[in-house]
């Protein structure tokens, strides 16, 4: 380890998720990691359909109806929400192919600390996978009060979903006609 790295008080942090869509708890997750970092990298998983793989602990993660928003749309959601937030460090947003460890070095520097909020079995698998590939991981347990699945279900049924996402995300979803897209995917 270089002397420069030893003298730094804070490390670059990495969070990742599908962010389908990016909701208030995702923003809290990013803020948690950023509070310990001098830079935050937000990795968007399932960014490229070619990188999506079935996962035994999250059997719906590769289903198109659970991935209605494209990478560039989620990028806009995250960028706009983060810019309006009080996250106090520089933020980068990029793809992160969680299902393709051989590609990680191209998307997340090896020296980042991966922060994972462990809420379900799939999150435990991700922590294990990151550690097996030599990545530094910080975890915390918590409770979930909102999920992307719940939000997509409410979008599909015409329910109220807007209260669970930052206003900036609502604006992006409205601009891309995201709700009709979700409704179409759920009706197929």
pLDDT in tens, 120-156: 888 999 999 999 999 999 999 888 899 999 999 999 9
| Average confidence (pLDDT) over 85-96 | 95
User: Any bridge partners for residue 141, and if so which?
Assistant: 118
- What was the pLDDT predicted at 172? 98
Phi-psi region of 184 (alpha: psi -120 to 50; beta: other; left: phi over 0): alpha
Is 91 in a helix, a strand, or coil? strand
For residues 153-164, give the mean pLDDT: 97
Domains and CATH numbers, the chain: 8-187 (3.40.50.620)
- Could you tell me the two tokens for 99? 């299902």
The residues, any chain, with a CB within 8 Å of residue 65's CB and separated by 6 or more, are 152, 182, 185, 186, 188
**14 SS3 class:** strand
Mean pLDDT of 92-120: 93
Residue pLDDT, tens place only, 7-53: 346 789 999 999 999 999 999 999 999 998 999 999 999 998 877 77
Say how many residues make up the chain. 188
CB 67 within 8 A of CB 18: yes
Tens digit of pLDDT for each residue in 43-72?
A: 999 998 877 777 776 667 778 889 999 999
């Amino acid at each position: 380890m270089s002397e420069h790295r030893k003298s730094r008080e804070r490390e670059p942090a990495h969070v990742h998720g599908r962010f389908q869509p990016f909701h208030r708890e995702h923003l809290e997750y990013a803020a948690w990691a950023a509070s310990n970092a001098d830079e935050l990298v937000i990795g968007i998983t399932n960014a490229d359909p070619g990188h999506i793989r079935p996962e035994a602990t999250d059997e719906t993660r590769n289903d198109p109806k659970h991935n209605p928003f494209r990478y560039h749309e989620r990028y806009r959601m995250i960028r706009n929400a983060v810019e309006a937030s009080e996250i106090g460090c520089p933020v980068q947003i990029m793809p992160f192919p969680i299902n393709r460890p051989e590609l990680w070095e191209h998307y997340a520097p090896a020296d980042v600390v991966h922060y994972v909020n462990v809420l379900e079995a799939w999150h435990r698998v991700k922590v294990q996978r990151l550690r097996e590939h030599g990545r530094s991981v910080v975890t915390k347990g918590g409770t979930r009060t909102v999920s992307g699945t719940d939000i997509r279900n409410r979008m599909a049924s015409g329910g109220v979903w807007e209260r669970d996402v930052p206003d900036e995300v609502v604006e992006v979803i409205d601009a891309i006609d995201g709700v009709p897209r979700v409704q179409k995917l759920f009706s197929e």
